[in-house]
């Protein structure tokens, strides 16, 4: 059984027992979180989406907060001697999915 949830403007496919890295959430490590924006639930061969999953929730526990790997952005304009390098590290929250309530 797995579900598709939306959080932080992105969609994630989650299953019970797995850990996912999502956009930063409020709360300390060990705090319980609940995702109400469930878009679909798949159980074996039955797929429920839209109005059929109204009231479904995904429960999880915050494991840690962290920062991702550095992404380099390089800007360049030829013949003008213009070069810029910018680095960026995105914050994330690692959440372990405990239960999918359909």
The pLDDT of residue 52 is 87
- Series of mean pLDDT values for 10-residue runs along the chain (102 residues): 94 96 95 95 91 92 96 96 95 96 88
The neighbouring-strand residues paired with 21 are 94
pTM of the predicted model over 0.85: no
Q: Find the radius of gyration of the CA atoms of the chain.
A: 18
Q: Is there a contact between 8 and 21 (Cβ–Cβ < 8 Å)?
A: no
Which structural domain, as residue segments, surrounds residue 60? Answer: 2-101
User: Cα(13)–Cα(37) distance, rounded to whole angstroms?
Assistant: 12
The pLDDT of residue 1 is 92
- Please give the tally of structural domains in the chain: 1
The pLDDT of residue 102 is 83
């Amino acid at each position: 059984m797995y579900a598709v949830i939306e959080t932080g403007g992105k969609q994630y496919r989650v299953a019970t027992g797995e850990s996912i890295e999502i956009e930063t959430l409020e709360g300390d490590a060990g705090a319980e979180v609940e995702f109400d924006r469930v878009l679909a639930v798949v159980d074996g061969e039955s797929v429920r989406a839209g109005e059929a999953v109204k009231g479904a929730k995904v429960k999880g526990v915050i494991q840690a907060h962290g920062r991702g790997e550095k992404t380099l952005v390089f800007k360049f304009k030829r013949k003008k001697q213009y070069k810029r390098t910018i680095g960026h590290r995105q914050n994330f929250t690692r959440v372990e999915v405990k239960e999918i309530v359909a």
